[in-house]
Amino acid sequence: MRVLSFCLLLLFSSNLQSQDGLNTNLEKLKFFGDVMVSALDADNRTIAGDQFYSSFKIYIDSKNLFEEDLSSFQTISVINTEDAKFKLISWQIEKTSFVFTYHAFVVFPDGSYAEFMDKGELSESIQYMDVDISEWYGALYYNIKKVSDTEYLIFGYNGYGQYDHVKVADYLVVDNNTVRLGAEVFEDREEEGLYMQRLLIKYSADASVNLNYNPGLDMIVLDHLTPRMGKLQGQGPTLIPDGTYEGFELVDGKWQYISKLYNHSYGENNAPRPKPVLDKKKNIFGQ
């Protein structure tokens, strides 16, 4: 089966390469995008992921993707900003079991773009570090909120490992087609008055955790996590939601931490939140 799948990949690629035009490249993108996410064999996911990236670079260099309708791409995340200043495109590949690679691009109205380079270094220390897009931690982004003319609050997911997943809230600063990450605006949840560059939460791989902007409350809302012994074989201690919620409120340009939003529990996975993102079934976040 593994050999057959590999041969089919090569046959499809060879067949498409014998044809001309950007529409052919678009079909390649759709095919390899599906394989890189859904293939059971890690080698096939890796091959398809490499082919998808190569085809995407041809596509983004040949077309103005800001003007393109990318809604047919079901295996990548495409987010438009409310002020139409750029598109944020990202995707992930599980190349081997529980080892993920990430790609992301910011695409501007003139068709130019900035590419994020995944260095695969994700730890709690990045909350306090300057992180350039050339030394990115890697994330599949699922929401964006404009904060100012140049600052955007972005939310991302990282598969991280066998026992834990990670979600991150970060600042994307875009000024004259230049892009950088991070801003010391997130109050430390453990030390009042100390501010972090970004917010990172790590939680059990068998849990569903909310970290998102809530437009009704005009706040960042996240599940409060509590320690427990993991249920996965070999997992050890981990963190899961306890049914209560924390938040961050924007005050004078900084997100002030609120340790408890409500005096009662809404039940698991029922935090007040905007329209759910890709959570009606198993999705590209692996949930």
Question: 139-195: per-residue pLDDT in tens?
Answer: 999 999 999 999 999 999 999 999 999 999 999 999 988 999 999 999 999 999 999
pLDDT at 277 over 80: no
Q: What 8-state DSSP symbol labels residue 188?
A: P
pLDDT at 252 over 60: yes
Partner residues linked to 124 by β-bridges: none
Torsion angle of the four alpha carbons 273, 225, 198, 109, in this order, in degrees rounded to the nearest 10:
-30
Q: What is the pTM of this model?
A: 0.84
Question: 16-43: per-residue pLDDT in tens?
Answer: 444 444 467 788 899 999 999 999 999 9
pLDDT of residue 27: 86
pLDDT of residue 134: 94
How far is Cα 186 from Cα 150, in angstroms, rounded to an integer?
Answer: 17
How far is Cα 281 from Cα 189, in angstroms, rounded to an integer?
Answer: 32
